[in-house]
Each structure stands twice: as structure tokens, then as C-alpha cells.
Amino acid sequence: MPKGGCALNNVRIRFSKLGRAAYISHLDMMRCMQRALKRSKIPVWYTQGFNPHMYVTFAMPLSLGFESVYETMDFKLTEELAMPSLIKRLNEALPPEIRVLQAAEPQKKFEDIAFSEYQLTVHGTQPDNFLPLWEAFIAQPEIMSQKKTKKGFKEVNLKDYIGEASASKQEGNVVIALRLTAGVNEGLNPSLLIKAFQQQNPSSFSHITVLRTILLDKELHPFE
């Protein structure tokens, strides 16, 4: 049995994953965080049993290649620790492109997550050509697509998942603000929407980078 085996506080950290860190897969991210916690010597609770390991959970896995300023990870502490000190110690132990922004006791459950917002940056396009294409695309009553579910592929209308999808010109680039349904059971990955757009408008851009900006509950309050 590990020292100080009883779990005291639950902690939820919010962190960013930017630049090169976008290419760390979900599984690798978990290992990276566990090693960072180990380096930081923060008193993290380990699972009990034959093969004790650090217990960490992530709210919404991020697709490979996406950046984010709203990733969360939960773990438990075995000793009291002031949150500013926890943030500082963990940041010292993390690679520079992963930064802890916030740490607090969890307020909401994973099941409360209802929406995820993204900022898409379109590369290799002429904004004035692109914007009308996007508007026309979003204005369609139906955007049918094959979506992978637990029971295989299913034909869905992507429009059912879109809360907001406004595109604008910013510093010569096209930036799209998206709010999509998200959650433990049902949600839409923005890459499906990008793919559908690309199919309807081939070679209208070179590539799109995605940044997750926030996770929200159904009242549009931040997931904290």
C-alpha cells in the first residue's frame, strides 16, 4: 500500500496544448502528464492493488493535430496543496508547449459537457473567395455525412450538431468560430465538418488548423 494512501482532494486542472504538442496523441498525453506529475513531486494518489498507478482522467479526448486552450485532467491528492503552488510545480515539470492555466476542485461532472467551441484557421486560401463558399455550405438545410458511432457508421445530418459556425476575415486569414455538440455519448468532431466542406468545395484551401477554445455545459457555462 502506497504511503499516504487516502485520497484527500480532487483536483481538476485546465491546460493548453499548443504548437508541437498538438501531435501528442491522447494515450501519449496521459503518459506525459503522469511523468510530469512524477517529476513535480506533487503528492498524487495512486490506485491501490497489485500494480499501483497514478490515477488521472481526461474530460474530452482531443483529436491528433488539434491545439487547445481548454484541456482538463482530474486527479487526486493525498496531501493538502495550495493551487497556485500546484500550478507552478507542474508547469516547471512540463514541456513548454503544455501549460497549466488553472487548478481547482471539480465543479461539474463529465456528463455535464454539452458543447465544445473551436477556432478554425483556414490556410492557403483567398478569404474573399472562401467566405461565400463557407456561407453557402452552412446555409444548406442538410449536410449529410457518415459518422462513426459505437455501433458502426451512421448517416447523420451534421447541421444537427452545429450551434454556431461563423467565418470571418482576420489579418488576411479566414477564421471560423464553431460551437458543436459535444459530450460523453454524442458529439461532432470538427474534422467531419471540414471533410464535408472539402468534398463540396475541392481545392478551395490547403489545410485547416483547429484550436479548441472552451468546453461548455448545456446552459453555455464553462465546464469547470
Cβ at position 221, least distance to another protein in Å: 31
CB under 8 A: which stretch of 7-15, 19-27, 151-159, 181-189 binds another protein? 19-27
Cell of 141: 438545410
CA 116 to chain centre: 8
Determine which residue in the list 4, 5, 52, 222 makes contact with another protein, applying CB under 8 A. 52
Instruction: Give the H or E element holding residue 173.
Output: strand 173-181
Is residue 24 near another protein by the rule CB under 8 A?
yes
User: Residue 19: which of 110, 97, 126 has the closest Cα?
Assistant: 97
Determine which residue in the list 5, 96, 132, 222 makes contact with another protein, applying CB under 8 A. 96
Determine which residue in the list 5, 10, 20, 220 makes contact with another protein, applying CB under 8 A. 20
Determine which residue in the list 11, 14, 16, 21 makes contact with another protein, applying CB under 8 A. 21
Cell of 23: 501531435
Cβ at position 23, least distance to another protein in Å: 4
Contact 178, 162 (CB under 8 A): yes
How many CA atoms within 13 Å lie on the side-chain side of 87?
Answer: 14
CA distance 67 to 63: 9
Q: Which is nearer to another protein, 65 or 132 (CB)?
A: 65
Is residue 109 near another protein by the rule CB under 8 A?
no
Q: Which is nearer to another protein, 92 or 164 (CB)?
A: 92
Instruction: Write b or e for each residue in 133-167: b if 16 or more Cβ atoms lie within 10 A of its Cβ, otherwise e.
Output: bbeebbeeeebebebeeeeeeeebebeebbeebeb
* Near another protein in 121-160, by CB under 8 A: 123-124
CB under 8 A: which stretch of 71-79, 89-97, 126-134, 193-201 binds another protein? 89-97
Is residue 198 near another protein by the rule CB under 8 A?
no
Contact 201, 129 (CB under 8 A): no
Phi-psi map region of 19: left, alpha, beta (phi>0 left; psi -120 to 50 alpha): left
Give 111's DSSP letter: G
User: Residue 203: which of 137, 129, 145, 140 has the closest Cα?
Assistant: 129
Is residue 215 near another protein by the rule CB under 8 A?
no
Is residue 79 near another protein by the rule CB under 8 A?
no
Cell of 25: 496523441
Q: Which is nearer to another protein, 39 or 218 (CB)?
A: 39
> Where do contacts with another protein occur on this chain (CB under 8 A)?
2-3, 19-21, 23-25, 28-29, 31-32, 34-39, 46, 51-52, 64-65, 93-97, 123-124, 206-207, 209
